Structure 1
Amino acid sequence: MKNRIQIKISMAKVITFSRYFPKGHPKEGQPTFFVEAFLKGNRSKVVVPSLQNTFNYDELEIGFAKTHTIRAGKRFKTGDIFSPRVWSGKPYRSPQIVFAPDTLVKQVWDFSIFQDNLTGSTMFSIDGIGYDCDYRPGTHAHYLLFELSTNDGLKLDDFMSWFKYPQPFEGQIISWSGNEGY
Protein backbone atom coordinates (compact mmCIF):
# COMPACT_ATOMS: atom_id res chain seq x y z
CA MET A 1 0.00 0.00 0.00
CA LYS A 2 1.38 3.35 -1.02
CA ASN A 3 1.56 6.24 1.39
CA ARG A 4 -0.51 9.12 0.20
CA ILE A 5 0.01 12.65 1.27
CA GLN A 6 -3.03 14.85 1.18
CA ILE A 7 -2.49 18.54 0.80
CA LYS A 8 -5.38 20.87 1.25
CA ILE A 9 -5.00 23.90 -0.98
CA SER A 10 -7.36 26.68 -0.18
CA MET A 11 -7.85 29.61 -2.44
CA ALA A 12 -7.79 33.05 -0.94
CA LYS A 13 -11.12 34.83 -0.86
CA VAL A 14 -11.18 38.19 -2.62
CA ILE A 15 -11.86 41.50 -0.91
CA THR A 16 -12.02 44.48 -3.22
CA PHE A 17 -11.42 47.89 -1.72
CA SER A 18 -12.96 51.02 -3.19
CA ARG A 19 -10.51 53.67 -4.31
CA TYR A 20 -13.29 56.27 -4.55
CA PHE A 21 -16.38 57.06 -2.50
CA PRO A 22 -19.43 55.46 -4.14
CA LYS A 23 -22.37 57.08 -5.85
CA GLY A 24 -24.79 58.55 -3.32
CA HIS A 25 -22.10 59.25 -0.67
CA PRO A 26 -21.56 62.95 0.17
CA LYS A 27 -17.93 62.57 -1.02
CA GLU A 28 -18.92 60.71 -4.20
CA GLY A 29 -15.97 60.33 -6.57
CA GLN A 30 -13.33 61.55 -4.10
CA PRO A 31 -10.44 59.20 -3.15
CA THR A 32 -10.95 56.95 -0.11
CA PHE A 33 -7.22 56.21 0.38
CA PHE A 34 -8.24 52.67 1.47
CA VAL A 35 -5.30 51.08 -0.38
CA GLU A 36 -2.83 53.40 1.29
CA ALA A 37 -4.46 53.01 4.72
CA PHE A 38 -4.50 49.20 4.29
CA LEU A 39 -0.81 49.15 3.40
CA LYS A 40 0.00 51.43 6.32
CA GLY A 41 -2.02 49.28 8.75
CA ASN A 42 -0.70 46.00 7.43
CA ARG A 43 2.88 47.23 6.90
CA SER A 44 2.69 45.63 3.47
CA LYS A 45 4.75 46.30 0.43
CA VAL A 46 2.95 47.34 -2.73
CA VAL A 47 2.73 44.40 -5.13
CA VAL A 48 1.83 46.42 -8.22
CA PRO A 49 4.57 48.92 -9.17
CA SER A 50 2.05 51.18 -10.96
CA LEU A 51 0.32 51.82 -7.62
CA GLN A 52 3.57 52.42 -5.73
CA ASN A 53 4.00 56.12 -6.45
CA THR A 54 0.38 57.13 -6.01
CA PHE A 55 0.73 58.13 -2.37
CA ASN A 56 2.94 59.20 0.47
CA TYR A 57 1.99 57.93 3.96
CA ASP A 58 2.83 61.31 5.49
CA GLU A 59 0.39 63.07 3.18
CA LEU A 60 -2.61 60.80 3.74
CA GLU A 61 -5.82 62.78 4.13
CA ILE A 62 -7.11 60.28 6.70
CA GLY A 63 -3.94 59.92 8.73
CA PHE A 64 -4.69 56.51 10.19
CA ALA A 65 -4.35 52.87 9.24
CA LYS A 66 -7.15 50.64 7.96
CA THR A 67 -7.03 47.53 10.14
CA HIS A 68 -10.40 46.01 9.25
CA THR A 69 -13.18 46.12 6.72
CA ILE A 70 -16.91 45.62 7.12
CA ARG A 71 -18.66 43.43 4.56
CA ALA A 72 -22.25 42.35 4.04
CA GLY A 73 -22.96 38.66 4.61
CA LYS A 74 -21.16 36.13 6.75
CA ARG A 75 -18.62 34.37 4.56
CA PHE A 76 -15.40 34.97 6.53
CA LYS A 77 -14.00 33.27 9.61
CA THR A 78 -10.83 33.62 11.65
CA GLY A 79 -7.97 31.89 9.83
CA ASP A 80 -9.25 32.60 6.31
CA ILE A 81 -6.90 34.15 3.80
CA PHE A 82 -7.97 36.97 1.50
CA SER A 83 -6.50 38.62 -1.56
CA PRO A 84 -6.69 42.44 -1.26
CA ARG A 85 -7.67 43.98 -4.59
CA VAL A 86 -8.97 47.11 -6.28
CA TRP A 87 -10.70 47.62 -9.60
CA SER A 88 -8.44 48.94 -12.37
CA GLY A 89 -11.30 51.12 -13.62
CA LYS A 90 -15.06 51.00 -13.17
CA PRO A 91 -16.15 48.55 -10.45
CA TYR A 92 -17.46 45.24 -11.85
CA ARG A 93 -16.57 46.38 -15.38
CA SER A 94 -12.77 46.28 -15.24
CA PRO A 95 -10.05 43.83 -14.23
CA GLN A 96 -9.01 43.63 -10.59
CA ILE A 97 -5.53 44.54 -9.37
CA VAL A 98 -3.94 42.61 -6.49
CA PHE A 99 -2.20 45.37 -4.51
CA ALA A 100 -0.74 43.45 -1.53
CA PRO A 101 0.14 39.87 -0.59
CA ASP A 102 -2.59 37.47 0.53
CA THR A 103 -3.56 38.40 4.08
CA LEU A 104 -4.64 36.37 7.11
CA VAL A 105 -7.99 37.14 8.77
CA LYS A 106 -7.11 37.33 12.47
CA GLN A 107 -10.54 38.18 13.92
CA VAL A 108 -14.15 38.35 12.76
CA TRP A 109 -17.16 39.89 14.50
CA ASP A 110 -20.80 39.95 13.42
CA PHE A 111 -22.01 43.51 12.81
CA SER A 112 -25.47 44.87 12.12
CA ILE A 113 -27.47 48.09 12.02
CA PHE A 114 -31.17 47.63 12.77
CA GLN A 115 -34.35 49.25 14.05
CA ASP A 116 -35.26 48.33 17.64
CA ASN A 117 -38.89 47.15 17.59
CA LEU A 118 -39.58 48.30 21.17
CA THR A 119 -38.09 51.79 21.12
CA GLY A 120 -38.08 52.52 17.39
CA SER A 121 -34.50 53.77 17.65
CA THR A 122 -31.70 52.73 15.34
CA MET A 123 -29.23 50.32 16.95
CA PHE A 124 -25.98 48.67 15.97
CA SER A 125 -24.78 45.31 17.19
CA ILE A 126 -21.32 43.77 17.49
CA ASP A 127 -21.35 40.02 18.12
CA GLY A 128 -24.95 40.21 19.38
CA ILE A 129 -24.43 43.07 21.84
CA GLY A 130 -26.71 45.95 20.89
CA TYR A 131 -25.91 49.66 21.23
CA ASP A 132 -28.03 52.70 20.55
CA CYS A 133 -26.73 54.45 17.43
CA ASP A 134 -26.21 57.54 19.53
CA TYR A 135 -23.03 59.11 18.36
CA ARG A 136 -23.05 62.14 20.59
CA PRO A 137 -19.51 62.71 21.92
CA GLY A 138 -18.90 61.21 25.33
CA THR A 139 -21.26 58.24 25.01
CA HIS A 140 -20.03 54.63 24.89
CA ALA A 141 -21.77 54.17 21.53
CA HIS A 142 -19.91 57.20 20.17
CA TYR A 143 -16.60 55.73 21.29
CA LEU A 144 -17.37 52.37 19.62
CA LEU A 145 -18.59 53.98 16.38
CA PHE A 146 -15.53 56.24 16.33
CA GLU A 147 -13.24 53.20 16.82
CA LEU A 148 -15.09 51.25 14.11
CA SER A 149 -14.91 54.11 11.63
CA THR A 150 -11.24 54.88 12.32
CA ASN A 151 -10.20 51.24 11.97
CA ASP A 152 -12.26 51.05 8.78
CA GLY A 153 -10.29 53.97 7.35
CA LEU A 154 -13.12 56.51 7.53
CA LYS A 155 -14.11 59.58 9.50
CA LEU A 156 -17.25 58.98 11.58
CA ASP A 157 -19.60 60.99 9.32
CA ASP A 158 -18.22 59.23 6.23
CA PHE A 159 -18.66 55.86 7.96
CA MET A 160 -22.31 56.57 8.78
CA SER A 161 -22.94 57.74 5.20
CA TRP A 162 -21.11 54.70 3.77
CA PHE A 163 -23.53 52.38 5.56
CA LYS A 164 -26.49 54.61 4.67
CA TYR A 165 -27.41 55.05 8.33
CA PRO A 166 -30.14 54.41 9.48
CA GLN A 167 -30.81 51.71 6.85
CA PRO A 168 -30.52 48.10 8.09
CA PHE A 169 -27.25 46.25 7.48
CA GLU A 170 -26.08 42.68 8.25
CA GLY A 171 -22.46 41.68 7.92
CA GLN A 172 -19.07 41.17 9.51
CA ILE A 173 -16.11 43.15 10.74
CA ILE A 174 -13.09 41.40 9.20
CA SER A 175 -9.79 42.25 10.91
CA TRP A 176 -6.25 41.46 9.78
CA SER A 177 -4.53 43.39 12.59
CA GLY A 178 -5.04 41.08 15.55
CA ASN A 179 -5.80 44.06 17.81
CA GLU A 180 -8.12 43.41 20.74
CA GLY A 181 -10.59 46.11 19.75
CA TYR A 182 -12.71 46.46 16.67
Structure 2
Amino acid sequence: MEKKDQIKVYVLMLSKEFPKEHPKAGEQTGFKEKLELALKAQQQLEDCPPASGMMKVHTIRTNLERWSRIIQKVQEGKAVISVRQWNGRPYEKGNVQVELFRLGKDDGIGMQALSVMEYTDSEDGVERAVYCIDGKPMPMLTMKQIAENDGLAVEDWKEWFTGMSFVESLPIIHFTKFRY
Protein backbone atom coordinates (compact mmCIF):
# COMPACT_ATOMS: atom_id res chain seq x y z
CA MET A 1 0.00 0.00 0.00
CA GLU A 2 1.44 3.35 -0.99
CA LYS A 3 1.73 6.03 1.66
CA LYS A 4 -0.97 8.18 0.01
CA ASP A 5 -3.43 5.26 0.19
CA GLN A 6 -3.01 4.69 3.93
CA ILE A 7 -5.92 5.32 6.26
CA LYS A 8 -5.48 8.49 8.32
CA VAL A 9 -6.14 8.19 12.06
CA TYR A 10 -7.70 11.14 13.90
CA VAL A 11 -7.66 11.16 17.70
CA LEU A 12 -10.74 12.10 19.70
CA MET A 13 -10.09 12.23 23.45
CA LEU A 14 -12.79 11.40 26.00
CA SER A 15 -12.43 12.65 29.54
CA LYS A 16 -11.98 9.96 32.13
CA GLU A 17 -12.77 12.42 34.94
CA PHE A 18 -14.74 15.62 35.24
CA PRO A 19 -12.47 18.64 34.58
CA LYS A 20 -11.06 20.73 37.43
CA GLU A 21 -13.52 23.61 36.75
CA HIS A 22 -16.52 21.26 37.22
CA PRO A 23 -18.22 20.77 40.63
CA LYS A 24 -17.57 17.02 40.25
CA ALA A 25 -13.88 17.57 39.47
CA GLY A 26 -11.87 14.36 39.71
CA GLU A 27 -14.94 12.07 39.71
CA GLN A 28 -15.19 9.44 36.96
CA THR A 29 -17.32 10.38 33.92
CA GLY A 30 -18.02 6.80 32.89
CA PHE A 31 -17.76 7.90 29.23
CA LYS A 32 -15.84 4.77 28.19
CA GLU A 33 -18.51 2.45 29.60
CA LYS A 34 -21.37 4.61 28.28
CA LEU A 35 -19.89 4.63 24.77
CA GLU A 36 -19.29 0.89 24.95
CA LEU A 37 -22.97 0.44 25.86
CA ALA A 38 -24.09 2.63 22.93
CA LEU A 39 -21.94 0.67 20.47
CA LYS A 40 -23.24 -2.68 21.81
CA ALA A 41 -26.84 -1.45 21.64
CA GLN A 42 -26.30 -0.42 18.02
CA GLN A 43 -25.05 -3.92 17.16
CA GLN A 44 -28.19 -5.44 18.67
CA LEU A 45 -30.69 -2.87 17.38
CA GLU A 46 -30.60 -1.32 13.93
CA ASP A 47 -31.86 2.03 15.21
CA CYS A 48 -29.99 2.90 18.41
CA PRO A 49 -32.39 4.61 20.84
CA PRO A 50 -30.47 6.52 23.51
CA ALA A 51 -31.46 5.66 27.08
CA SER A 52 -31.36 8.49 29.62
CA GLY A 53 -27.70 9.21 30.19
CA MET A 54 -26.74 5.55 30.34
CA MET A 55 -25.16 5.75 26.89
CA LYS A 56 -22.82 8.17 25.18
CA VAL A 57 -24.02 8.31 21.59
CA HIS A 58 -22.23 11.55 20.79
CA THR A 59 -19.76 14.18 21.91
CA ILE A 60 -19.99 17.93 21.40
CA ARG A 61 -16.84 19.78 20.43
CA THR A 62 -15.69 23.12 19.09
CA ASN A 63 -14.26 23.82 15.62
CA LEU A 64 -17.05 22.80 13.26
CA GLU A 65 -14.93 23.28 10.13
CA ARG A 66 -12.14 20.99 11.35
CA TRP A 67 -14.51 18.22 12.38
CA SER A 68 -16.51 18.55 9.14
CA ARG A 69 -13.35 17.82 7.16
CA ILE A 70 -12.42 14.89 9.41
CA ILE A 71 -15.88 13.30 9.37
CA GLN A 72 -16.06 13.66 5.58
CA LYS A 73 -12.76 11.75 5.25
CA VAL A 74 -14.07 9.05 7.62
CA GLN A 75 -17.28 8.69 5.62
CA GLU A 76 -15.25 8.42 2.41
CA GLY A 77 -13.28 5.55 3.99
CA LYS A 78 -10.03 7.55 3.97
CA ALA A 79 -9.81 7.96 7.76
CA VAL A 80 -10.88 6.51 11.11
CA ILE A 81 -11.50 8.03 14.53
CA SER A 82 -9.38 6.68 17.38
CA VAL A 83 -11.38 7.32 20.55
CA ARG A 84 -8.92 7.55 23.44
CA GLN A 85 -8.50 8.37 27.12
CA TRP A 86 -5.41 9.22 29.10
CA ASN A 87 -4.17 6.37 31.26
CA GLY A 88 -3.55 8.78 34.15
CA ARG A 89 -3.63 12.55 34.38
CA PRO A 90 -3.77 14.29 30.98
CA TYR A 91 -0.38 15.49 29.68
CA GLU A 92 1.42 14.26 32.82
CA LYS A 93 5.00 13.19 32.16
CA GLY A 94 5.16 9.50 31.29
CA ASN A 95 1.41 9.25 30.82
CA VAL A 96 0.03 7.54 27.72
CA GLN A 97 -3.15 7.67 25.69
CA VAL A 98 -5.11 4.41 25.56
CA GLU A 99 -7.24 3.66 22.51
CA LEU A 100 -10.74 2.62 23.55
CA PHE A 101 -12.37 2.26 20.14
CA ARG A 102 -11.44 2.74 16.50
CA LEU A 103 -14.46 3.82 14.49
CA GLY A 104 -14.85 4.11 10.73
CA LYS A 105 -17.48 4.72 8.08
CA ASP A 106 -19.31 1.43 8.74
CA ASP A 107 -19.77 2.19 12.44
CA GLY A 108 -22.22 5.04 11.94
CA ILE A 109 -19.81 7.90 12.64
CA GLY A 110 -21.38 11.17 11.59
CA MET A 111 -21.79 14.79 12.47
CA GLN A 112 -24.52 17.35 12.92
CA ALA A 113 -24.19 21.04 13.72
CA LEU A 114 -25.75 22.23 17.00
CA SER A 115 -26.72 25.84 17.51
CA VAL A 116 -29.07 27.62 19.88
CA MET A 117 -31.59 30.23 18.87
CA GLU A 118 -32.41 32.36 21.90
CA TYR A 119 -35.39 34.69 21.99
CA THR A 120 -37.73 36.51 24.34
CA ASP A 121 -41.30 35.25 24.15
CA SER A 122 -43.48 38.18 23.08
CA GLU A 123 -46.48 36.88 25.06
CA ASP A 124 -44.90 36.33 28.49
CA GLY A 125 -41.52 38.09 28.20
CA VAL A 126 -39.66 34.92 29.22
CA GLU A 127 -36.30 34.19 27.59
CA ARG A 128 -36.38 30.88 25.77
CA ALA A 129 -34.10 28.82 23.56
CA VAL A 130 -34.68 26.51 20.64
CA TYR A 131 -31.99 24.01 19.71
CA CYS A 132 -31.18 23.86 16.02
CA ILE A 133 -29.65 20.90 14.22
CA ASP A 134 -27.92 21.65 10.94
CA GLY A 135 -29.54 25.09 11.00
CA LYS A 136 -33.07 23.70 11.38
CA PRO A 137 -35.00 24.68 14.55
CA MET A 138 -36.01 21.58 16.54
CA PRO A 139 -38.61 22.86 19.05
CA MET A 140 -39.15 19.37 20.52
CA LEU A 141 -35.44 18.81 21.20
CA THR A 142 -34.58 19.49 24.83
CA MET A 143 -31.39 20.18 26.72
CA LYS A 144 -32.16 17.01 28.71
CA GLN A 145 -32.09 14.87 25.53
CA ILE A 146 -28.86 16.46 24.31
CA ALA A 147 -27.19 16.11 27.73
CA GLU A 148 -28.25 12.48 28.19
CA ASN A 149 -27.14 11.53 24.68
CA ASP A 150 -23.80 13.12 25.59
CA GLY A 151 -23.64 10.76 28.59
CA LEU A 152 -24.32 13.38 31.26
CA ALA A 153 -27.10 14.50 33.59
CA VAL A 154 -28.48 17.96 32.69
CA GLU A 155 -26.79 19.75 35.60
CA ASP A 156 -23.43 18.14 34.81
CA TRP A 157 -23.83 19.01 31.12
CA LYS A 158 -24.67 22.65 31.92
CA GLU A 159 -21.60 22.91 34.18
CA TRP A 160 -19.41 21.25 31.54
CA PHE A 161 -20.49 23.83 28.95
CA THR A 162 -20.45 26.87 31.27
CA GLY A 163 -18.92 29.77 29.39
CA MET A 164 -19.24 27.99 26.04
CA SER A 165 -20.72 30.10 23.28
CA PHE A 166 -23.48 28.55 21.22
CA VAL A 167 -23.51 31.58 18.91
CA GLU A 168 -21.50 29.61 16.36
CA SER A 169 -22.55 26.07 15.55
CA LEU A 170 -20.78 23.31 17.45
CA PRO A 171 -20.17 19.88 15.95
CA ILE A 172 -22.04 16.95 17.46
CA ILE A 173 -19.89 13.94 16.61
CA HIS A 174 -22.06 10.84 16.59
CA PHE A 175 -20.46 7.53 17.51
CA THR A 176 -23.48 5.53 16.31
CA LYS A 177 -26.08 5.79 13.52
CA PHE A 178 -28.36 7.82 15.80
CA ARG A 179 -29.20 11.32 14.50
CA TYR A 180 -31.53 14.05 15.70
Scaled by the length of structure 2, the TM-score of the pair is 0.68
1:36 and 2:39 aligned: no
1:106 equivalent among 106, 109, 113: 109
Give, in whole Å, the separation in 2 of the partners of 1:31 and 1:168.
Answer: 25
The answer for the alignment partner of 1:49 in structure 2 is none
Q: CA deviation at 1:90?
A: 1.6
The answer for the alignment partner of 1:13 in structure 2 is 10
Q: CA deviation at 1:33?
A: 0.0
Contact 2:53 2:148 in 1 (8 A): no
SS at match of 1:15: strand
Q: 1:121 to 1:128 in 2, by over 3 A?
A: farther
Contact 2:16 2:85 in 1 (8 A): yes
Q: How does 1:27-66 map onto structure 2 within 5 Å?
A: 27-43=24-40, 64-66=54-56
Q: How does 1:1-182 map onto structure 2 within 5 Å?
A: 8-43=5-40, 64-74=54-64, 75-76=66-67, 77-78=71-72, 79=75, 81-93=80-92, 94-104=95-105, 106-113=109-116, 121=127, 123=129, 124-130=131-137, 140-142=140-142, 145-164=143-162, 167-169=164-166, 170-179=169-178, 181-182=179-180
The answer for the alignment partner of 1:57 in structure 2 is none
Q: CA deviation at 1:175?
A: 0.7
The answer for the alignment partner of 2:45 in structure 1 is none
Which fold has the larger relative contact order, with Cα–Cα distance below 8 Å and residues 6 or more apart in sequence?
A: 2
Structure 1 unaligned spans of 5+: 45-61, 132-138
SS at match of 2:21: coil
Structure 2 unaligned spans of 5+: 42-51
Scaled by the length of structure 1, the TM-score of the pair is 0.67
Give, in whole Å, the separation in 2 of the partners of 1:151 and 1:19.
Answer: 17
The answer for the alignment partner of 1:58 in structure 2 is none
Q: In proportion to residue count, which structure has more helix?
A: 2
Q: 1:32 to 1:108 in 2, by over 3 A?
A: same
SS at match of 2:61: strand
Q: CA deviation at 1:164?
A: 0.8
Q: 1:34 to 1:18 in 2, by over 3 A?
A: same
Q: 1:121 to 1:63 in 2, by over 3 A?
A: closer
- Once the two structures are aligned, what percentage of the paired residues are identical? 28
Contact 2:13 2:83 in 1 (8 A): yes
Q: 1:161 to 1:113 in 2, by over 3 A?
A: farther
Q: CA deviation at 1:39?
A: 0.9
